Structures are given as C-alpha cells and as structure tokens.
Structure 1
C-alpha cells in the first residue's frame, strides 16, 4: 500500500510523514534504550461484508490527518477515519459512492496521487463481471479544482474511464521530472508482462470546441522508466522511492523474479541494476526500508529490501544499492503460517530502529527486529512478537490514525479492519523515562559548560 499526503504547507509540498504514514523520530543525542516488549490491544474492529485483497488498502493524509481507504472485491470502497479529539464523533467506516463502479464489479487495486494544494486523483482498477468481462482503470478527481477545499463527493463524481485489455495488478503512483518540475504518473502492471504508464495530458480542442481539459492517457514507458522494460514475468508488486533526482525501483514478479534498479531522473538512464531468480512462487510484497527510522533518505548505504513470497520464507537483502542480491538475511518462521501476503515497516519499539511487520494467510501478524546473534555475533532478524486473528491478513499499515501522536497498527483481514493500539500504560512509562533522560542529559551538558 502507499501513502498520499495533502500537506498543510502547499508552498513546499512536503509532508512530515514518512512513506508509511507515521512521524519519524529525530535522532537523539544520547543512547535510547529499546522497549523490548511489544504490547498491542485491539481497540476497534470494523467488519466488511465482502473481502478485500493485498492491493485494497490506501492511506491518505489530509492536512496532517490520516484516513484509510478500503476497497473490496464486491465493488465497495470505504473511508475509515478518526476525528480530532475536539470533535465529539466516534470513528467511522463510511462508504464512498464512486461513479460507475457497478454492484457486480470487483475492485482489484486502488491508489491516489496529490494535486497541490488540496486536490487528489484516485485511481481504481476493476473487473465488471459481465459477458464478455470488461476491465477498467477509472480515474476520479482529474477535473476537480485543486484550489478548492477537499471533498470526497466532488472527487467521486468526476470520472474518467480507461478500458483495459489486460488483467491489472497493483496500482502505484510516482513522480517524474519533466521540464524542471515534478509530474505525477500512475504505473499499472498487468498479466500481459507489461507495466503500463498513464500520464496527465491537456486537451486543447475537442470536436471544434476550445477546451482546457485534463485527462490521463497511456504512453510508452521506455523513455521514462527504462528499468521496467522487457521483464520476464508479470509484476505483482513494486516499491519506488525518489531520492533527490534519482529513483530506486524494486519489483517482484509472478514467477519469483526480483529486480532492483537505480535510475537518474535527469537523463532517465539506469545507473545500476540487479536481479535474481532465487525465490520461488509469486512475490506478494517488496519494501525498500532503512534500519533507522530517522535515517537520511539520501544515504544510499542504508537501503535494504524486504521480499515476501507466497511460498518461501521472507528475506531481506541488506544494503541492496551496494551489494544487490548478494547478502540476504531470512526471516525465521515466516513461512510457518501459510503464505506471507503483506508487509510494512515502522518503529514499533520506540528506539529509533525500524521493525518489519508481516501479515500471513495463516491469520498471523509477525514482527521482526534486527539485532546481533549472541552465538555467532552476526547480524540477523529475530521474531519478537506475533498475534493471531480469526481471518487471513491481506494488508497491514502502521501510522497515527487517532491523531494523538502515537501510531496504531492496522490490519485489513478477510473479515474487516482491525485497529491495534499500543498499551497506553507502557507508552506513559516510556515517555516518563525519556523525559528523565533528557533532563539528565541537559543537566550534564549544563554542568560541563560551566566547568569549561
């Protein structure tokens, strides 16, 4: 899943949130002890009448408030949101009525991109169960005024359909550098062994009438995304990160093929590229991440790649931009609960280091932490927490849903949406401990400066 952010600072277009929707903790000038025990309590459950899939959860951050959009194979789309504490309203799972999503349609994937300052374009891929079957990529909000206040109703009414001749997989947006500025595009892999690129175009004239209308159109990706050309299998999952004027692209395919590339956005040339066929079965998730939650995104030595397969153990390829797929660390017991379907990354232990969260078809959430093996003194990932559910887990996300500064763990299962909150007593103790450390550190620095 991806995170879309409409910032309160439209002048910069920057968001304080990281890719997963949580606020990264800044570096601390003194050692911070790790909170070893992870304690979550399920505080809310929102049932769904129809199940979703691994592409059915989207985080949208509007003016600093996270909202989750959930799609189902029954053609339904919902918005899950918690309101500010000042608003006396309970959390809600509200249906969004998008134009032309028939009752017999299956929503395959959903994503969105931002048009500053307040606009948002939502993409929905769907299969209409008719004879013959019809497949569409619907775009919503393309013609909406981005200067106007955000409104789901206006976005849902503004509809542009694109007919597809292939079965779509994950829908993903990214940005490209064009004429010195950034432009949002959608990428859509299909079962035709092709990743399709959709760009915004302006129609100046239509049927003799002067117009100034924006639409999305498909165009070839050879020039803009050379790393996505001539792939040996259908792409099932991608993760892209833009770092400065360079792009890191990681992808996994239906046949187990994986590829990681590093591309210059000024020249659209691939600087480095690695691939591997060592993994069996369809790839269900790939995640580029850093071990430190406050790591500098421009530090290319701290990027690692998590790859999850429907058949094998989850595996992390360390320092992937330096060593490619040479150095791997497996996630022990990750295959013990049927297929791994989804993954996310976040600092669940509040120590500045990211943990890996995996969701499985065997109804388990698994959390892994990077540490040093006491026997061999070599780095490894250890399973530090797990929790069972009544249904398989399709998607997982870690971010602040309740707007209290403390992130929640959200699991989309076959039965509905589960909201897991950190233990508040534990959080209070950790805050008190950290405040005490800050006070002691400040006093120590003050005495040191007086001494000198």
Structure 2
C-alpha cells in the first residue's frame, strides 16, 4: 500500500481484515446501534482472531439492556459476513455464517438494525442456477439472544456443510426468504410514523422501491402502496427510475430527509415534517450515474438550531462529486463541485465526519482509483479544499466511522474491494485538542468566578451606602 507523507496527520491504520478469497461489493458495510451488552474478552491474537462460535456461559440471568445504544460494525463480502463488536479498549471479530457458497451465492446488499430485543440482518442475494441464470431473494435473519456477540454469531443459525451446499441445523428466531423478480441494488431501513414499525426499503433494477414492513408475528410483508408513506417513492416507481443509492436522514427534531440517486443521473430529494407530511420535493439530473448520496448537517450537534443547514453530497461515476448546499432553502439549485474528485477514476462513496474536532464535519470521498480524500470548507466561502489524501491497494467501496474500542474517539472505517481497514485518529492531535478544550473550560470557569466575586462586592457596597434623610 502506497501512502503519502501526511498519512499520520489525521489517521493511522491499526488493523486490516481481509475477506479471504472473497471480494466485497459496494453495499457491503453497515453500522449497527444496539443496546445489547457485550461479554467476550479480548482474544490473545487480537485483532486478527475471529470468533466462529459463541462460548458456553454459566450466566443464568439475562443481562439488562444498556441505557444508551452502542455502535458496532458489520461488513460483508460476496458470500461471508463479519461483525466487529466494540468493547472497552478493543473489539471482537465475529464470523456470521449465512450458509452461502462462494461462486454460487453473492450478497449484493445488506443492512442491520435492532428492533426491541431483536437484532435483524437483511441481505439481498443473487443465486446462480445451473443454466447460468440468477434467482434473487431478500433474506431476513433475526436473533433475540441476550448478548450482542451471541446474537451476531447465531443470527442465521448454525450451518454445517452437507453433500451439496449447506443445510440449516439450528433455526434462529426467524429466517425469512422473500423472492425478488428483479436484480436488487441498495438496501436500507426506516420506521413508520404512525405505529413505529420497522420497514426495509430495497431499490431494484425494475425501477421500483420495494417496501417490506414488520408485522405483529415478526414476519415482513411487502407494502404495495409505498406512496402512502412516501409520495416521492411513488414518483420513482411511476417513472421507473433505477435507484442505485438512497439515504434516509432523521433529524433530532423529527424531520426526515430522503435523497435518492439513479442510474440515469437523477437526484431526487424530499423533506418530511415530524408528522410524515411531504413538505418539499426537488429533482435534478446530471450526466452520470449517481453512485451514492449523503445528507448531512455540517455543524456537529444532537440538536437543531435555526441557523443549521443541510447539504447533500452526490458522487458520480464519470463526473466530479457535487455538493448541493442549503437544501431546505435552495432545493437542488445551488451546488459546488469537489476539486480533484474526478482525478482518480469513478467516485464510489462519500461520508461526513469531524476529523479535526473543530465542531464541523468534513466531507470524505472514496474512489475506484483507490483514493480516499477529505475536504474542508474554506472559512467564509462555500468552496472546498483537499485536507488529506491516502492511496490504498484496492478500490474504495464504503467509508464510515464509529468508536470501535470505546476510548471516546471514533475510528475511521474504510471498506475496499477485498477487506476492511480500521484507522485510529492521531492521538497527539487528540491530546492537543483536549488540552485546548480543557484550557477553554478552565478559562470560562475563572471568568465566571471573577464575575461572581465582582457581583458580590457590588452588593456589599450597595448595603454599605447610607442615605441621609431629606
């Protein structure tokens, strides 16, 4: 792997998990937020060790769920899936056997979510038939095991290899197979506004968005009228727009923003109020297939202020990556391109993360030309400059971030054609930034203390004043 001299300025690679002889796909990375506790100790061969089974435990009582969800990572190659369960000071790699055969099955897209006490993993699969045709299906697995590692390892039940293919020997909580009539593309999820029911959304090459909603019996059924939930999706289905990527962004104030990018260059944006009503709808088209779209708020915050603006990054197969700015006010009419984004073959993905801890997110893109670039907005302008760049050995498919070792700093995750790279932030810069923040806090405390002393002194002076009677 070739790197430049500034590699350690922001991140340093600490681990690379390869997929054996398999290769991944462009939709093979998901972040799972879970309240299930973790329990496996650090392996002696950390971080390369991979747990193939869950050890027997003597704990009789089920553990209490965590008060706040913790983030974990799930990565998939064409026929195998690996979970990275975060722990204090380390993480554990878990083999998630789905009973797929390399060369016969291929995972096209995957998603993971926790609903109540269940962890669900949905996988869109292409299965090659003897006559070289393909059958497509959506497979949904779930487990309500008390520990996260146990749920991920047993998510699809335990498989043993038989005469031909694999045979299920231990059925999990649910395992549902839904036949698909068209090749699937991107898979994501959301929740219905009325009853807060989980819904998987699958785009496909038939130009439709297929919606599957959870029922009371934990079985997913297809929703025919997707327009009753999202009118923009009815428009997509009516015009048979082949959507390659869709991002659903939930704001803390209950607002929901959905952006979709199509094979023919379509970018579709819809904004929904907290009650689920569509309040804005915009479309545009560029001269390139849209490989990914990302809705993000530049300011890092868990609240929404009136001055906060939302932007969209749209990456293109044959053009520069585009940033649509202030979409609530401008829709898709105001845009900027990211410089140098077209210099390294097709741009495959994008991500937003505060890499320098200044309170504002930077934009990241990954290219088929094996580059990851980080862009920072130039202060006082709407332009962007390259802040950091790194070259990899294989094309970049996905970028994400989460705190894998729970040290308070998020690791950068880069998924390439043959594996997953884990990058740790620059610890020296982190210490320097922490000292700056502590000094700022200490300075504020000192100023507040001085103001309180001054206020008390004024009150004492007022009491000491004697007014002569007239």
Instruction: Tell me the TM-score range normalised by the shorter chain.
Output: 0.7 to 0.9
Residues 278-315 of structure 1 deviation map (CA, whole Å, 9 limit, x = unaligned): x2221111111111011634758511111111111111
Paired position in structure 2 for 1:22? none
1:434 aligned residue (421, 434, 437): 437
Question: 1:226-268 deviations in whole A, cap 9, x for unaligned?
Answer: 11113242011111123445421111101110011113464x5
Are the equivalent residues in 2 in contact too, given 1:395–1:412 (CA < 8 A)?
Answer: yes
**Equivalent residue, structure 2, for 1:136:** 137
User: Is 1:381 matched with 2:384?
Assistant: yes
Offset at residue 356 of structure 1 (A): 0.7
Matched, 1:309 2:308: no
1:165 is matched with 181
User: Could you tell me how far 1:145 is from its partner in structure 2?
Assistant: 4.4
Paired position in structure 2 for 1:174:
190
Among candidates 160, 182, 185, match of residue 199 of structure 2: 185
Residues 116-169 of structure 1: CA deviation (Å, up to 9, x unaligned): 2x312110001011133211100011xx448x4442244322311001001101
TM-score, scaled to structure 1: 0.81
Distance (whole Å) between structure 1 residues aligned to residue 204 and residue 445 of structure 2: 56
Deviation at 1:446, TM superposition (A): 1.2
C-alpha offsets along residues 373-399 of structure 1, whole Å, 9 cap, x if unaligned? xxxx63211111111111111111122
Paired residues of 2:119 and 2:144 also in contact (CA < 8 A): no
Are 1:76 and 2:77 counterparts? no
Deviates more, 1:315-324 or 1:257-266: 257-266
Structure 1 residues 82 and 249: CA distance shift in structure 2, 3 A: closer
| Structure 1 residues 270 and 83: CA distance shift in structure 2, 3 A | closer
> 2:388 & 2:255 partners in 1: Cα distance?
36
Give the superposition deviation at 1:417. 1.1
Q: Distance in 2 between matches of 1:434 and 1:301?
A: 23
- Which consecutive residues of structure 1, in runs of 5 or more, have no partner in the other structure? 1-36, 203-212
Count of aligned positions: 388
Give a deviation string over 1:49-76, Cα, whole Å, max 9, x none.
2111221001113334432111112x11
**Corresponding residue for residue 232 of structure 2:** 227
Q: Indicate whether 1:286 and 2:289 are aligned.
A: no
Which aligned segments of 4 or more residues in structure 1 are displaced greater than 6 angstroms?
A: none
Instruction: Give 1:237's match in structure 2, choosing from 238, 241, 245.
Output: 245
> Gaps (5+ residues) in structure 2?
1-7, 36-68, 158-171, 456-470
Residues 18-62 of structure 1 deviation map (CA, whole Å, 9 limit, x = unaligned): xxxxxxxxxxxxxxxxxxx94211111111221112210011133
Corresponding residue for 2:34? 62
SS in 2 for 1:449: helix
Secondary structure of 1:351's counterpart equals: coil
Q: Are 1:306 and 1:314, in contact at CA under 8 Å, matched by a contact in 2?
A: yes
1:425–1:305 CA distance, 2 compared to 1 (3 A)? same
Name the SS of the counterpart of 1:273 in structure 2: strand
- Any idea what SS the aligned residue of 1:169 has? strand
SS of 2:407's equivalent in the other structure is coil
2:36 is equivalent to residue 41 of structure 1: no
Q: What is the Cα-based RMSD across aligned positions, in Å?
A: 2.0
State the secondary structure of the residue aligned to 1:332: coil
Please tell me whether the aligned partners of residues 297 and 308 of structure 2 are also in contact (alpha carbons under 8 angstroms).
Answer: no
1:254 pairs, out of 232, 251, 263, with: 263
Q: TM-score, normalised by structure 2?
A: 0.78
Tell me how far apart the structure 2 counterparts of residues 265 and 399 of structure 1 sit (CA, whole Å). 27
Please tell me whether the aligned partners of residues 95 and 153 of structure 2 are also in contact (alpha carbons under 8 angstroms): no
**Computing the radius of gyration over CA atoms, which structure comes out larger, 1 or 2?**
2
Contact 1:46 1:93 in 2 (8 A): no
Query: Is the 2:72–2:402 contact (alpha carbons within 8 Å) kept by the matching residues of 1?
Result: no
- 2:55 equivalent in structure 1: none
Structure 1 residues 145 and 61, CA gap change in structure 2 (3 angstroms): closer
Other-structure match for 1:24: none
Inter-CA distance 338–237: structure 2 relative to 1 (3 Å threshold): same
Note the 1:266-415 alignment, pairs <5 A.
Answer: 266=275, 269-277=277-285, 279-294=286-301, 296-297=303-304, 299=306, 302-372=309-379, 378-415=381-418
